[in-house]
Structure 1
Amino acid sequence: MPETEPWEYSLYIPNDPRAVTICRRTVRLILTMHGLIHHADTAELLATELTANAVLHTKGPAALRLRWRSGVLRIGAWDADPEPPEPPSDLAALVDAEQGRGLALVRACADVWGWQPLTRNGNRGKYVWCELAAA
């Protein structure tokens, strides 16, 4: 049974493509432990796309954040690049593309998504997030 109490996890990751796999597996483990296994497949896909963008398209560290509150799972990735993400294309137009599908998949699979610039302790970056509502 899913938990009703809010919780939040943050995983700080290096700029290393192997971090994407670690994040994906960590998401499944967290959701399993909190009784939210029915969200695991979609959440893994979303976390993979967000962290892959953060790691592959920036030069600095990144972080993955999972938050459960009021029946909504928020998945977000922070990176040190303050530039906004490229707007997602229509997923149907990207069927044969070898890259560029990440945010289109996020837009298609999440209930809502967005991004916001962040400034902390003089450091600039952005936070790209999406949400899944409880089924």
Structure 2
Amino acid sequence: MVTVSLSECEAAPTWAYALQLPHDPRAARIARVTLRAVLAGHGMSQLQDSAELLATELVTNAYRHSTGPATLRLRGLGRGRLRVSVWDANPHIPPPFGKRSGPRRLPVPTGPDAEAGRGLFLVCHYAETWGGYPLGGGLSGSGGKLLWCEVGG
């Protein structure tokens, strides 16, 4: 199910899309396809590469560390900025998202041969700002957390 809301601000139009994703390894691909269509529809294709990477890593994190569905939310903030956020049912805020908008070059907590553990650090490297917070009973009534990041502008 996709939810769309549009509103006009004096400075720039803003919009939001929410996409419910099943707990399925194909969820990241579905998120990328949706993201491409949304950005093209709003004339923001210049953000496609970085936004795809960010959305893929956030959705993959939700799939790997949660047992239920996730929700991808895309929000145009005006002035060519995009916020990508993902909700999942696991309330744990992983590093480095516990520290909002930290240093641009964060140490990766895995060895060079590790097969996992770099995704959220990539998000923090490519996003302009990021954050995360636990939700008490929020989306879908089950708490969890929301991780978000912004690009563009």
Q: What is the Cα deviation at residue 35 of structure 1?
A: 0.3
Does 2:35 align with 1:13?
no
* Partner residue in 2 for 1:65: 73
* Partner residue in 2 for 1:28: 36
Cα RMSD, aligned residues only: 2.1
Q: What is the Cα deviation at residue 95 of structure 1?
A: 5.2
AA matched with 1:132: V
Counterpart-to-counterpart distance in 2, 1:7 and 1:124: 25
Evaluate the alpha carbon distance shift between residue 96 and residue 38 of structure 1 in structure 2; reply closer, same or farther with a 3 A threshold. farther
Give the % identical residues.
47
* Partner residue in 2 for 1:130: 149
What runs of 5+ residues in structure 2 fail to find an aligned partner?
A: 1-11, 98-105
Greater CA drift, 63-72 or 4-13: 63-72
Match of residue 45, structure 2, among 13, 37, 42: 37
TM (norm. structure 2) is 0.79
Q: What is the Cα deviation at residue 133 of structure 1?
A: 2.7
TM (norm. structure 1) is 0.88
Q: Which stretches of structure 1, 4 residues or longer, exceed 4 Å deviation after superposition? A: 91-96
AA matched with 1:36: M
SS state at 2:72 partner: strand
Q: What is the Cα deviation at residue 94 of structure 1?
A: 5.7
Does 2:101 align with 1:80?
no
Q: Is the 8 A contact 1:94 1:100 kept in 2?
A: no
AA matched with 2:49: D
Q: Is the 8 A contact 2:110 2:117 kept in 1?
A: no
Evaluate the alpha carbon distance shift between residue 62 and residue 87 of structure 1 in structure 2; reply closer, same or farther with a 3 A threshold. same
AA matched with 1:76: S
Counterpart-to-counterpart distance in 2, 1:60 and 1:97: 26
SS state at 2:135 partner: strand
Evaluate the alpha carbon distance shift between residue 99 and residue 93 of structure 1 in structure 2; reply closer, same or farther with a 3 A threshold. closer
Question: Would you say how many aligned residue pairs link Structure 1 and Structure 2?
Answer: 132
Instruction: Give deviations 1:18-41, integer Å, cap 9, x for gaps.
Output: 111000111011001110000001
Q: Is the 8 A contact 2:74 2:84 kept in 1?
A: yes
Q: Is the 8 A contact 1:91 1:105 kept in 2?
A: no
Counterpart-to-counterpart distance in 2, 1:16 and 1:93: 25
What runs of 5+ residues in structure 1 fail to find an aligned partner?
A: none
Q: Is the 8 A contact 1:94 1:101 kept in 2?
A: no
